[in-house]
A and B are shown apart, each in its own frame.
Chain A
Amino acid sequence: MNSQFYLSDQLTKEKIKKVCDGVLTDIAPEELILTDQVIEAFVTSLPESTNELDSANEYVDTPLGFSGEVELYTAIIVPIIIGVLSKIIASFSDENLKQAVNIIQGGKDKKGLEVEAKVDELKKEITIRLSNHRLTRKKATTITNRILHVIAEELSK
């Protein structure tokens, strides 16, 4: 697995897209049509650190205006997916990465307590970032699990 993470890299973009599509298929299939454009929007306006990536896809709700009352899931999850992927790739060695994938997929590794703690930390971070948007705790937890599960699936390939 590649230990470097370059957003502009085509392979990385494809990976982000696969993860994003995997999550959206479950939570908002109608937004699948937007994935490419949202990823492109984030990649072209890339800040210095992936931690700073966030969306504010809000509109002013004027009658007969071009608006909508809810944020796009795609806009919420893409920066999170980019952040998580970069963090996983940067902070786990190849062996740890396998353990992390195992832990996310429900398996246990007796030697991987440290990795398990890191995965829990990651999970907490994603849930908090999701909760900053107008999502219920339950929805945030569901999406967190889904994101990690799809990332694990993708990384195990």
Chain B
Amino acid sequence: MLSNQPLKDKIPYNLITTFVFIGIVLGLPAFFYYLSPGWAFEPYGVIPLVFGSWVFLREPYIQIKRRKMEVLSSKYPDLANQITALSVYTNLRNRPIVMYIPAELPEVFSFGTWRKKYIAISEGAINRWSDPATIMSVITHEIAHIADGDIWKAGFPLYFMYWFFGAYIFIFLYTFPYSLFFKIFSPFRLSNGYPDLITSFTLLILNFAILLAIRFLFRMKEYAADAFSVKHISMADYVKAFVAPIAKNNSDYKKKRTAKEYFQNKISRALTFHPSIQARLTALQSPLYLISELPSLMFVVGIFAGIASCYFLDLNKSFALTLISEITFGFLSVAMLLNFQTLRERLLISRQNYIENTFSLANGVAFAFLVLVGVNNLLVNQKDGVYGFSMVIRQGVELKDALFSTFDVLLLIMILAPIVILILIFAAWLIINACSVNGFTWKPILLSSISIIPAISLLDFYILQWWKGSIITFSEIAFLLPAYLLWILVVVLFWRLVSRRQRNVNAEGI
């Protein structure tokens, strides 16, 4: 039941979300300014702001027209009266207009601008949440979004981001040094070569980082709206809203979806910013769970670490950008590993086997480190051959200080380590799927065994180099790698045989 508590409570997590909002909206032009002072004021910096604002202000009117919305009181006056009688509604200074959407899919959402705010309820939602107490729970959740100003705090950065991405595509095309790969000049201007590549790469990283920040913002807003709602409605009543959709005619809903709608739904699920219902329930019951959202902001640490290193070491600007983007990318990769449920589940095969999983991860990291050191070693020594990546960086920024051989290793670790770990996990996953049969149970200890094999193989390369007295050639690596993969396969097949025998022994009841 709704209490008569006035709506002057503090909105949960407001400080951090406001900080992220300011960071996105002000941080982007600031970063543009750092990249090139002109960009912040020329179209690249201004266009996203102007177009983002324009679309944001127009969006509610377009939504109302396109979705044929009407005022709810004209269709369901009783329901409209119940909503406007809610204490959380009446206590709002700027009260939203409650709209009705003639659509069968259950939808309840808030939209609008700084000035005018709306809550939209579809016909499907009215049927699905037919119990008055439950629909009021859902409406309270939406009112919480409006009370917190989420429409502009989360909505505006999203539109800003869309337009920023458009401007970014242009800058990427503009700065991309085509001459590096296609032996032609840039279609826009004379290429600056490697420094341009670094700028393009930095922008790419920045886009990805901002996308994560907006995702974080949206998710925190949902958790905050839930936390706010349970201050006014009992937890038992509130969770009914999560359950209600299963109660009525859902088979009809399933049948009515066309292939196109199904496809659209799949796409929107892939790009969704919403936390899962499970995550929302967990956060409601134990707010400490929200700490697991923080890795999304790890890139901020990366950017600050990069900027601080550049400032204190007095580095060249191009090199500084590289360092910032690479450290940021490293942190982003870690965030991805920690944040995305599916990936985390693949990584942590079983919750009970932390030690084995940590062991296998450590092996993966060790392997990545050895690869990086090895690659760096190969590249640095091939002075007369094709320039490797570390030479590219040095040439581009014209820095030949000995200090940078150390930095090269650091940069390579930041770039390659997460990628190599991901590839390793993916390869292990492929092997598991290829070799698994009924009755074959995957054991984390086996993952550990497999993940350590590449590390051993790399050590073998080093031993081989020491024995030969010269650097290992690519043809030798090309010969040895399949041999190690074969070894992995033998281990897996052996395990499969053992587990099958074990199964047979159990089946005979001995």
Q: Which residues of A contact B (CB under 8 A)?
A: 28, 30-31, 33-34, 37-38, 41-42, 44-45, 54-75, 106-108, 110
Contact = CB atoms under 8 A, between A and B. Distances in A.
B276 A70 contact: yes
A30 B281 contact: yes
A48 to B, nearest CB: 13
Given A37-B240, A55-B246, A64 B277 contact: no
Given A63-B273, A64-B154, A73 B239 contact: no
Contact of A31 (B155, B269, B281, B509): B281
A56 B506 contact: no
A82 B502 CA distance: 33
A38 B272 CA distance: 26
A19 to B, nearest CB: 18
B146 to A, nearest CB: 9
B461 to A, nearest CB: 35
Interface in B237-254: 239-248, 250-251, 253-254
Contacts of A54: 250-251
Given A62-B107, A63-B218, A45 B247 contact: yes
B254 A44 contact: no
Interface string B240-284: 111111111011011000000000010011001111111111100
A32 B251 CA distance: 25
Contact of A38 (B145, B246, B248, B276): B246
A67 B142 CA distance: 11
Given A33-B235, A33-B281, A34-B239, A64 B151 contact: yes
A34 B240 CA distance: 8
13 contacts: A30-B285, A34-B239, A38-B243, A56-B250, A56-B251, A56-B254, A60-B107, A61-B265, A63-B274, A65-B142, A66-B108, A68-B274, A72-B277
Contacts of B108: 65-66
A16 to B, nearest CB: 15
Q: Chain A contact residues: over half helix, strand or loop, or mixed?
A: loop
A11 B107 CA distance: 37
Contacts of B107: 60, 62, 65
A73 B278 contact: yes
Contact of A64 (B150, B245, B248, B278): B150
A110 B254 CA distance: 45
Given A38-B246, A62-B109, A70 B278 contact: yes
Given A30-B285, A63-B155, A44 B250 contact: no
Nearest to B221: A64
A117 to B, nearest CB: 14
Given A34-B242, A64-B221, 20 more contacts: A31-B278, A33-B236, A38-B246, A41-B247, A45-B248, A54-B251, A56-B250, A56-B251, A61-B274, A63-B109, A63-B154, A63-B273, A64-B111, A64-B151, A64-B155, A66-B142, A68-B276, A68-B278, A68-B279, A108-B509
B258 to A, nearest CB: 14
B109 A64 contact: yes
